[in-house]
Amino acid sequence: MHKVLENFIARYFEKKLMPGIRKKYREMEEKYGASGAGDGELGKDYYVNSFGFQTEFMMRYMTIAFGIVCLFLVATAFRIGGDAWNGAGIFGVFFGICLILWGICRIRRGYIVYNTRWISVSRGGHWADETMDRLSGISVTGNLTLTFGIEKNMARKISIPLEGGQYMDFTRFLEKNFSQVIAAIPEKVYARAKRKHGSSWGNQM
């Protein structure tokens, strides 16, 4: 089931989201320039990592399932009445809860497009852009959080809730290209974060 869901989301990602990602890359390239390394995925000049898509898709189909059951029970209640409305009402509540949770998951899902020159984070349809030469700190307690800039009033923090393989891919990129920033994280804290986030698959693409 896990593998089927991963494959489905990968196809959805390629068909529905990659055109927008490529457009964003062109905008970032025009604004900040390309890294020129060509060492991204499949030789591209950028990488993509995502978060929240498996959770959102699971909630989507759970909502659809409860919705179908609800419609069936309502139709049955119209025919026989009585206590059948109680069952329809209970499933209606579950359907409403699933609908709310699905909406929250949809808002929280997102992805990052990045290379050694810049990073762009999309979450809930909103983009946050930064240049990697301003990267000054990384926090791994809770979500992965990047700090850009060193001025107290000008520093900007961007939270990236990556999990599983997506988390590991991004941290390996940081280790390779921004080792001095990674080195500032206490070794035990960093190891614990990688065990925690690297073992989860719930929010991967």
Distances (CA, A) of 130 to 108, 121, 152, 171: 20, 9, 17, 17
DSSP, collapsed to helix, strand or coil, labels residue 183 as coil
Signed CA dihedral, 179, 184, 187, 191: sign only: negative
Angle between helices 2-12 and 53-80 (to 10 degrees): 100
Cα-to-chain-centroid distance, residue 4: 19
The pair of three-digit structure tokens given for residue 88, joined into one six-digit string: 């329809």
- State the pLDDT confidence band at 135, using cuts at 50, 70 and 90: very high
Q: What is the pLDDT of residue 39?
A: 54
pLDDT at 190: 92
**Mean pLDDT of the residues in the chain:** 84
What percent of the chain shows pLDDT beyond 90?
33
Tokens of 114: 């990045």
Q: What does the alpha-carbon distance between residue 205 and residue 196 come to, in Å, rounded to a whole number?
A: 17
Rounded CA separation 71/91 (Å): 9
Q: Which two three-digit tokens encode residue 150? A: 């060193």
**pLDDT tens-digit map of 146-189:** 999 877 777 899 999 888 888 999 999 999 999 999 999 999 99
Give pLDDT tens digits for 91-131: 888 899 999 999 998 888 888 999 999 999 998 778 899 99
More confident residue, 57 or 175: 175
Strand, helix or coil at 61? Answer: helix
Residue at token pair 């940081």: 174
Are the CB atoms for 10 and 3 separated by under 8 Å? no
Query: Whose CA is closest to 39, among 133, 115, 139, 126?
Result: 115
